[in-house]
């Protein structure tokens, strides 16, 4: 039996019409979190947050379009070919300008087994 899963972004479960695509669950990944997020132009609703409580570090990259990562008092442009790692204790927020963005977010807690948050499972509601 083959242990290969291949899917298009549009095939991932998405509870909000494609804004948050459950790539990790859709591919059967169990060792780290991975989601595809699609934000329209002038998107300001990405919640500012950190991962101090769970120790998770995250990596972001734009698959298409561009966005701004606001982290540690600085702004960083995310576009295809640019990767950003954000440590657990750093507050981060992502916004868009005139262009939409398709963002890949990958996360895990160093040295710990990965435990997927319930909202990343197919069919689950997104947090409030």
Cα–Cα distance list, 98 to 6, 8, 31 (Å): 32, 26, 35
pLDDT of residue 97: 95
**Structure token pair of residue 64:** 């298409």
Place of tokens 């991962």: 51
pLDDT of residue 18: 85
pLDDT per residue, tens digit, the chain (128 aa), is: 679 999 999 999 998 888 999 999 999 999 999 999 999 999 988 889 999 999 999 999 999 999 999 999 999 999 999 999 999 999 999 999 999 999 999 999 999 999 998 889 998 888 87
Give this prediction's pTM: 0.91
Which residue, among 22, 87, 76, 20, has the nearest Cα to 51 in the 3D structure?
A: 87
Instruction: Kindly report the backbone phi and psi dihedral angles of residue 106, in degrees, each rounded to the nearest multiple of 5, phi listed first.
Output: -125, 135
**Domains located in the chain, CATH noted:** 32-111 (2.60.120.10)
């Amino acid at each position: 039996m083959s242990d290969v899963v291949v899917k298009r972004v549009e095939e991932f479960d998405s509870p909000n019409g494609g804004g948050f695509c459950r790539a990790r669950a859709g591919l059967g990944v169990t060792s780290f979190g991975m989601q595809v997020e699609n934000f329209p132009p002038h998107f300001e609703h990405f919640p500012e947050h950190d991962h101090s409580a769970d120790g998770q570090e995250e990596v972001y990259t734009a698959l298409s379009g561009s966005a701004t990562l606001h982290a540690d008092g600085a702004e960083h442009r995310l576009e295809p070919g640019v990767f950003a790692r954000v440590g657990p204790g750093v507050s981060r927020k992502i916004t868009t300008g005139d262009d939409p963005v398709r963002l890949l977010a990958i996360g895990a807690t160093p040295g710990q087994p990965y435990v997927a948050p319930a909202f990343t499972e197919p069919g689950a509601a997104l947090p409030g």
